[in-house]
Amino acid sequence: MFFALTFSILASAFLLVPLIKKFSGARVLVSLPAGLAFFAFLFMGWPSLRSGEVITHTLEWFPSMGINLDFQLTGMGFVLGLLVMGIGALIMSYASGYMKGDAKETRLYLLLYSFMVAMVGLAVSNNLLLFFIFWELTSIISYLLVGFKHEYETSRKNALQALLITGGGGIAMLIGLVMLSHVGGAWTFTELTANAHLITESALYPYILTLVLLGAFTKSAQFPFHFWLPNAMGAPTPVSAYLHSATMVKAGIFLMFVMTPILGGTELWKTTLITTGSITLLVGGWFGLTQKDLKAILAGTTISVLGLITFLIGIGSDKAILAAILVMVAHALYKASLFMMVGAVDLATGTRNINELRGLKKWMPLTATAALLAGLSKMGLPPFYGFIAKEYLYKAAIPLPMEWIQAVLVLGNAIILALAIKVSIIPFFAKDKEKQESASDNPLHKNELDWTMSVSPFVLAILGVLFGAFPNLITPMVHTAVHSITPEANLYAVKLWSGVNWPLILSIFTVGLGLALFFSSRWLEKKETPKSWGVVIYERLLEAVLCLFKKTTRVVQSGYLQNYLAVILIATVALVAWKSIPTMGLWVSYESNLTLTPIIIITAVIMLISAFWICITKSKLNSIIALGVIGAGVALLFAYYSAPDLAITQLLVESLIVVMFAWVIKDIKPHNLSTPLLLNSWYLIISASFSLLIFTLVMKSKLVNLAPAISQKMVEMSYPEGFGSNVVNVTLVDFRALDTWGEATVISIAAIGVWILGKNLISKKS
């Protein structure tokens, strides 16, 4: 009921959105289904989650293989679902302003809704395969959305890049999941969790882990696969804000969360995740520091934060899991807000270059406020939710034995802080030193942006403050999420102020370092971003694969009829001979109870001579006459061997073909193309051996006796049931009428084809 309701509200969007678009002036209503689904999910899911009741639903799918459509609401899935639908609703309303007047508007909304369905499905699926299907769906929809401006080549290229990388990871993950279910003996996450010891002790464990993590790392843009994310930012801003910062990239994180009780806790898991996470944190930050484009900077920090979360999941302690969830929520809130703000600025001023944008607060006060609030949360300053997340992050990291980790974390967070200042403060609040500001010097193309574009980022930014000041508003949900991952975890209270302690000192240090980085960051910006080596490897690999298959295709698909024919015939002859000669022998025996009359023998000889004549002659008229002779001969055979209907049809068809031929014969040029002798004798050998094969098979086919009962029944039923004395006719129009109907269809289609081609020919002529 719960799942059905959520999904059907979301699905109703596919009906409602086109209607709203068509009949309502208030296009912001397109966010309605997402909003409703959000509240339904929240108010129906939360009470039962809090009371500890588990909402599950199972639909049979392949019961014989133990594979079913299992849905289950877990604490983690609940948090992800809320983020997906809540942010989704705001993004929808933002998109209705952003896409105003765009011809492909409805397409964007519906793609975003499809994505939402896939993402919610992913959050609530309890079956490995179901999870995988939703996972792949998000990849495919992301492909369509990144390539939304498909008129541009870069857009298509980046979409393909994102698809190939996440899709490749998805395939690796599928193999990993199948191995996982094989070792763990179940397809559901819940059962696998119970069998976790089987899996971690299995010899296959390292392979399973690697394959599953490949899926997670590609999806969540972890090093060394991070390079697709900045390229995917070419998508329209609502897409970047929704998929590539707040939700889809969190799917990989979500996978790591749900795998924690199944695959987690081992040294291999910890080392891999901690190392990858730390590298990603720094690589993403460095990428952000070198960029001037607002969206690229945000992409860089998104990669950083994803690395941070991976790192925390790798630590896996109770505090770390709590911190990971806090970071995830805080990041989703401020990053989606910042992305929407960048989209608004881009649309208003026509640029995203941070060096050109100054003093925008005067023109876009609401957007500027939203940017400031979200930016402060991103910097990790009190009283914002980002601050809480960062404090708990440090709390989780401090007990670790590795000192370098803390240095990496401080550096990473400092970079994020510096970039936050760059993105959210400078464009709005810095004064333009070069140009004198004046009222006439309005940088905006449009003075008024649609109000929906400022409200959505503002709401998210406000939530960041609200949750920061009163963390208990959502702490219970965060706690159930922690419990769904580590059921025995100590639940640490989430507080804004926990006294002067080591994390606070680290925070202060981070702020200092971040400010220093900010002031020195202008020297780091590059004029042109060189391709990162990840992109280079990807492009080389893609090129090599395409080249290989082009060459193979060129060899296999020559485009010459003769080659295809030769391959088919040689293969047929060889295979049939190989299989049948040992069992049936080569010799054919001849026996017949048929009386051969001279007329049949003479007809057959004439027909054979005509057939050979067609092969030899160079005259087109001779060919047509010989074909006519053969057709008439076949008709005679039909007539003689008790098939008058066939004879009549054959004669009619033969005449029509000859007429048609005669009609077009003047248009067909005489053929004086000769095949080289050697090649021709090769063709002759193939034809002859094929002919021999057919002869042998036909001679031997006396052994094949088709069931006579059908024919006998037809003869018996023809008159009493079909009311006709000609059994063949009754068969055609009655017993096998469907065949005849199909035949009529084929002829009609052919007639339409001939008509179109013929019309074309005539119009060309005149």
Partner 1 sequence: MELIISLLIAGFFGTGVYCLFQRSFIKLIAGLILIGQGANLLVFSVGGLMSLKPAFVGKEAPPMVADPLPQALVLTAIVISFGLIIFTISLLLKAQRELKSDDLNQLNTTDTL
Closest to partner 1 by CB, 353 or 680 = 680
Pairing of strands 67-72, 56-62: antiparallel
All residues at 6 or more sequence positions from 533 whose CB lies less than 8 Å from its CB, including other chains: none
Residue 153 CB, nearest distance to partner 1 (Å)? 20
285 alpha-carbon distance from chain centroid: 28
Residue 65 CB, nearest distance to partner 1 (Å)? 41
374 alpha-carbon distance from chain centroid: 32
Contact segment (CB under 8 A) with partner 1 among 88-96, 419-427, 450-458, 614-622 equals 614-622
Q: Which of 102, 346, 525, 645 binds partner 1 (CB under 8 A)?
A: 645
Separation between Cα atoms, residue 345 and residue 351, nearest integer Å: 8
Name the residue among 161, 280, 298 with its Cα closest to residue 232: 161
Closest to partner 1 by CB, 404 or 723 = 723
* Angle, vertex CA 355, rays to CA 235 and CA 243, nearest 5: 20
SS3 at position 70 = strand
Closest to partner 1 by CB, 256 or 647 = 647
Separation between Cα atoms, residue 92 and residue 97, nearest integer Å: 9
Name the residue among 211, 136, 217, 139 with its Cα closest to residue 180: 211
Closest to partner 1 by CB, 1 or 561 = 561
Closest to partner 1 by CB, 48 or 691 = 691
Q: Which of 8, 24, 442, 726 binds partner 1 (CB under 8 A)?
A: 726
Closest to partner 1 by CB, 51 or 701 = 701
Closest to partner 1 by CB, 201 or 739 = 739
Separation between Cα atoms, residue 320 and residue 423, nearest integer Å: 28
Residue 575 CB, nearest distance to partner 1 (Å)? 16
Residue 309 CB, nearest distance to partner 1 (Å)? 49
558 binds partner 1 (CB under 8 A): yes
| CA distances from residue 98 to 82, 92, 456 in whole angstroms, order as listed | 23, 10, 11
Are 377 and 387 spatial neighbours (Cβ–Cβ below 8 Å)? yes
691 binds partner 1 (CB under 8 A): yes
Cα dihedral value 342, 346, 349, 350, nearest 10: 160
Name the residue among 245, 246, 234, 248 with its Cα closest to residue 147: 234
Q: Is 670 exposed, middle or buried (0-12, 13-18, 19+ CB in 10 A)?
A: exposed
Residue 642 CB, nearest distance to partner 1 (Å)? 4
Closest to partner 1 by CB, 213 or 632 = 632
Residue 582 CB, nearest distance to partner 1 (Å)? 21
Separation between Cα atoms, residue 31 and residue 24, nearest integer Å: 13
Residues across the chain? 766
185 alpha-carbon distance from chain centroid: 28
| CA distances from residue 149 to 89, 146, 246, 315, 349 in whole angstroms, order as listed | 23, 8, 21, 41, 20
What is the footprint of partner 1 within residues 174-233 (CB under 8 A)? none
Separation between Cα atoms, residue 77 and residue 54, nearest integer Å: 12
Residue 543 CB, nearest distance to partner 1 (Å)? 22
753 binds partner 1 (CB under 8 A): yes
Q: Is 705 exposed, middle or buried (0-12, 13-18, 19+ CB in 10 A)?
A: exposed
Number of CB atoms found within 10 A of residue 214's CB: 20
Separation between Cα atoms, residue 31 and residue 556, nearest integer Å: 52
Q: Which of 101, 499, 582, 720 binds partner 1 (CB under 8 A)?
A: 720
* β-bridge mates for residue 67, sequence order: 62
Preceding peptide of 224 cis, ω within 30°:
yes
Closest to partner 1 by CB, 19 or 752 = 752
556 binds partner 1 (CB under 8 A): no
Residue 761 CB, nearest distance to partner 1 (Å)? 6
Separation between Cα atoms, residue 486 and residue 112, nearest integer Å: 32
Q: Looking up tokens 């160079």, which residue turns up?
A: 618
What is the footprint of partner 1 within residues 27-86 (CB under 8 A)? none
Closest to partner 1 by CB, 438 or 701 = 701
Residue 688 CB, nearest distance to partner 1 (Å)? 6
Q: Which of 103, 203, 673, 678 binds partner 1 (CB under 8 A)?
A: 673
Contact segment (CB under 8 A) with partner 1 among 127-135, 286-294, 412-420, 688-696 equals 688-696
646 binds partner 1 (CB under 8 A): yes
Residue 474 CB, nearest distance to partner 1 (Å)? 59
Contact segment (CB under 8 A) with partner 1 among 25-33, 162-170, 322-330, 716-724 equals 716-724
Residue 600 CB, nearest distance to partner 1 (Å)? 7
Binding-site size for partner 1 (CB under 8 A) equals 102
402 binds partner 1 (CB under 8 A): no
Closest to partner 1 by CB, 524 or 751 = 751
Q: Is 379 exposed, middle or buried (0-12, 13-18, 19+ CB in 10 A)?
A: buried
Q: Which of 541, 612, 662, 721 binds partner 1 (CB under 8 A)?
A: 612
Residue 577 CB, nearest distance to partner 1 (Å)? 15
Separation between Cα atoms, residue 563 and residue 549, nearest integer Å: 19
What is the footprint of partner 1 within residues 582-611 (CB under 8 A)? 590, 592, 594-597, 600-601, 604, 607-608, 611
643 binds partner 1 (CB under 8 A): yes
710 binds partner 1 (CB under 8 A): yes
Q: Which of 4, 656, 662, 721 binds partner 1 (CB under 8 A)?
A: 656
Residue 4 CB, nearest distance to partner 1 (Å)? 48
Separation between Cα atoms, residue 307 and residue 291, nearest integer Å: 19
What is the footprint of partner 1 within residues 487-526 (CB under 8 A)? none
Closest to partner 1 by CB, 7 or 661 = 661
* Structure-token pair, residue 18: 């086109």
Cα four-point dihedral sign 276, 282, 285, 287: negative
Q: Is 520 exposed, middle or buried (0-12, 13-18, 19+ CB in 10 A)?
A: exposed
Q: Residue 28 half-sphere exposure, CB side, CA atoms within 13 Å?
A: 12
Closest to partner 1 by CB, 555 or 706 = 706
Q: Looking up tokens 């005669």, which residue turns up?
A: 662
Residue 762 CB, nearest distance to partner 1 (Å)? 11
560 binds partner 1 (CB under 8 A): yes
Q: Which of 497, 690, 721, 766 binds partner 1 (CB under 8 A)?
A: 690
Return the H-helix or E-strand segment holding 218: helix 205-219
Q: Which of 642, 676, 678, 763 binds partner 1 (CB under 8 A)?
A: 642
664 binds partner 1 (CB under 8 A): yes
Residue 159 CB, nearest distance to partner 1 (Å)? 25
Q: Which of 493, 548, 574, 698 binds partner 1 (CB under 8 A)?
A: 698
Contact segment (CB under 8 A) with partner 1 among 283-291, 464-472, 497-505, 754-762 equals 754-762
Closest to partner 1 by CB, 197 or 764 = 764
Residue 610 CB, nearest distance to partner 1 (Å)? 9
668 binds partner 1 (CB under 8 A): yes
Q: What's 529's DSSP letter?
A: P
**E-only strand ranges, 479-525:** none
701 binds partner 1 (CB under 8 A): yes
